[in-house]
Amino acid sequence: MSLDYFLTVSVFSMINMILALSLNILIGYAGQVSLGHAAFFGIGAYASAILTVKLGMGYWPALLLSVFISGLIGLLLGLPALRVREDFLVLATIGVNFVVVSIFNYVKFFGGPYGILGLPRPSLFGHAFTTREYALYVFLWTLVVVFLVHYLSNTYLKLGFDALREDEDAAESVGVSSPRYKMYAFAIAGLLAGLAGNLWAHYMTVVFPDNFSFPVSIGILTMVVIGGVGTLVGPLIGAIIVTILPEVLRFARDYRMLIYGLIIVFTMFFMPKGIVGSIKGLIFGDTPLGKKRVEKVRRIAGAQGRIAGR
């Protein structure tokens, strides 16, 4: 296993972490299930590609602008969410994904099926990043995103999202404006996914429409769900698993997708709350097994209390 291979896999897993965290804000925090997240990812990548290759911008202004554009378009694509809920929203976002990819595919400006080639690697003080430095750069961004999401989890915004997720009508009745919080959620998710798209595009230095097609959205959803919806650590773990699993399963070349699919099915079967959710359940007593354990601990603690003779 060469260093470059290791670096590439870790860059992909970090970018996937950002994507999973961003989708988690929509699904886990605000309760808006989106199955078109690859569209946001693609918009970030394509915005950056067009700004740098077609308009000849430098990397840093393009980074700012492309992330801003993704946030804005995220806001726009969030508009259907104001009208529709639940399954309708799932279908609308699937539709958004298909439409965005076919626009990339069929509009000349976006390069068609051949995509856009020759994106520059970022450079600092005239020194272009090597693969190793780029991995470090992505790592720094991942840290920033993790801290940002962690910070958001402790703000009033998160409370608004929680209210929205649990019951829209009840949230409205206590003064949480559901359209406003939905727009916030979509804008933040769009920003983060756009950042991931930018990082990905400048690592690969090429973008194709197929990189952002519907199965990619499914992949991102899988990361969030396997890790644990609504937790901070869950999507991170999920992203690592989903990225590394196909690499680890390389020995089973032909059966890769089969095993992958089966893992998804059986995770849903036995751990519907994801890995982190299940572990939490075990500790805090939400699942049957966990409940038994917590009761046992209480019993022992209670017995000891009596023995001590209060």
Partner 1 sequence: MLQNIVNALVLGSSYVMIAVGLTLVYGILKILHIAHAGIYAFGALFAVYLCEIGLPLVFAVTLSLILSALLGMIIYKGFYKHVLDRGRIVPLVMSVGLFATMEDLYRLMWGPYKRPFDVYIDLPDVMTMDLYLSSRGLLMLIVTAVVIVLLYLLLMRTKLGKSLRACSNDLGLAGAFGINTDRSVAFAFLIGSSLAALGGILVGLYDNTVYPTMGSVPSYKAFVVVVLGGFGSIRGAVVASYILALVETFVVYYFGFLLPRDAIAFLTMILLLMFKPEGLFGKVRR
Q: Where would I find the beta strands (DSSP E) of 65-139?
A: 116-117, 123-124, 127-128
User: Within 10 Å of residue 24's Cβ, how many Cβ atoms?
Assistant: 28
Give me the 11-40 binding string for partner 1, x by CB under 8 A, dash otherwise.
Answer: ----------------x-----x-------
In order of 54, 57, 106, 222, the CA distances from 116 in angstroms are 9, 15, 13, 28
SS3 content of the chain, % helix, strand, coil (to 5): 80, 5, 15
**Residue 94 beta carbon to partner 1: minimum distance, rounded to whole angstroms:** 6
Instruction: Pick the binder of partner 1 from 80, 120, 285, 290 (CB under 8 A).
Output: 80
68 touches partner 1 by CB under 8 A = no
Give the residue with the Cβ less far from partner 1, 15 or 77. Answer: 77
Contacts of 199 (CB under 8 A, 6+ apart): 11, 15, 18, 138, 141
The yes or no reply on residue 249 touching partner 1 (CB under 8 A) is no
CB of 226 to partner 1, least distance (A): 9
Q: Quote the tokens at residue 88.
A: 């309708």
Quick one: 27 or 57, whose CB is closer to partner 1?
27
Among 6, 54, 86, 140, binds partner 1 (CB under 8 A): 86
The binder of partner 1 chosen from 3, 64, 84, 124 (CB under 8 A): 84
Burial (CB < 10 A; 0-12, 13-18, 19+), residue 8, is middle
Q: Which of 26, 53, 193, 229 binds partner 1 (CB under 8 A)?
A: 229
Closest listed residue to residue 15, CA positions, set 147, 139, 190, 164: 139
Q: Which is nearer to partner 1, 28 or 122 (CB)?
A: 28
Structure tokens that stand for 30 in this block: 């605000």
The verdict on 242 binding partner 1 (CB under 8 A) reads: no
What are residue 75's phi and psi, to 5 degrees?
Answer: -60, -45
User: Which of 12, 23, 33 lies closest to 193 in space, CA to CA?
Assistant: 23
- Using CB under 8 A, which of 65, 72, 76, 91 touches partner 1? 91
Residues within window 252-271 making contact with partner 1, judged by CB under 8 A: 254-255, 257-258, 260-265, 268-269
* Identity of the residue, 133 or 168, whose beta carbon is nearer to partner 1 in the bound complex: 168
Give the C-alpha separation, 140 to 61, whole Å: 18
For the four alpha carbons of 149, 245, 214 and 278, in that order, the dihedral sign comes to negative
Contacts for 163 with CB less than 8 Å, ≥ 6 apart: 170, 171, 174, 176, 181
Q: Which is nearer to partner 1, 3 or 252 (CB)?
A: 252
Site string for partner 1, 99-128 (x = CB under 8 A): x--xx-xx----------------------
Applying CB under 8 A, does 283 fall inside the site for partner 1? no
Site residues (vs partner 1, CB under 8 A)? 27, 33, 79-80, 83-84, 86-88, 90-92, 94-96, 98-99, 102-103, 105-106, 214, 218, 221-222, 225, 229, 254-255, 257-258, 260-265, 268-269, 272
